[in-house]
Amino acid sequence: MGKSLSLALAGRGWRIAACYRKNRDAADALRSELAAGGMQAMILRADVSRPDAAAALVRKVESKCGRIDALIHCIGAYHRIPLLEESIEGWHEMFDHNLHPVFYLSRLAAAGMMERRWGRIINFSVVNADRQAGQPFVTAHHIAKMGVLALTRSLAKTLAPYGITANTISPGFIETGSVPKEVVAQSMKSIPAGYVGSPEDAVGAVCYLLSEDARYVNGTNIHLSGGWGI
């Protein structure tokens, strides 16, 4: 989804600064595709689970681009493991990669947005996080994504007086090429819409939230799931 969002927004005139942590091949491919299209972009490596790295990233983007108008936090690692088999390290990792960076980056990027009295913050959760249902195999990840919802709403209340909106998009099954085809086929049976979503569906939701049409939409959570998980 990060790749699709970068390409789509760059094609709409946004200057993109995309961050990756490990997958250099994917980052290089995105850089090449953006360059081939003549689009302005920076592809930066940073482990934003570390507060110092998140701060350095924001400083670098602001120094190169002049400002940050929109912050989109669209990815976070997860693993499946029975709750009582989860390690302390694995537990903390889920929060370090899914919740804490949203706070680190938002508080830093918001400063400039507040000065200019305009900005957009869009965070990705997961479709059934607002149900607070038990998730024995992805417990820490699920709790972290619940935290993203609460944090985003707090950001919305805090930043609304400055013309800034903060909203959440919660995907269900999205075809990104990382899930085996047989799993995708099985998943379709439980999706009321009858098909698995695509990254372009996320692009549509993000573009709406970035637009002036959504200037009064603040603190909301958009389910991107074809009716699954609600």
Residue 53, C-beta contacts closer than 8 angstroms, at least 6 positions apart: 46, 47
pLDDT per residue of the chain (230 residues) written in tens, 0 to 9: 899 999 999 999 999 999 999 889 999 999 999 999 899 889 999 999 999 999 999 999 999 999 999 999 987 888 999 999 999 999 999 999 999 999 999 999 999 999 999 999 999 999 999 999 899 999 999 999 999 999 999 999 999 999 999 999 999 988 887 666 777 777 788 899 999 999 999 999 999 999 999 999 999 999 999 999 88
Q: In this structure, are residues 96 and 86 in contact, taking their beta carbons and an 8 Å threshold?
A: no
Architecture of the domain made up of 47-224:
3-Layer(aba) Sandwich (3.40)
Question: 103 exposed, middle or buried (CB, 10 Å; 0-12, 13-18, 19+)?
Answer: middle
Strands (E), the chain: 16-20, 41-45, 70-73, 119-124, 164-171, 221-224
**DSSP three-state, residue 125:** coil
Determine how β-strand 41-45 pairs with β-strand 16-20: parallel
Q: Domain ranges in the chain?
A: 47-224
Give the amino acid at 123: N
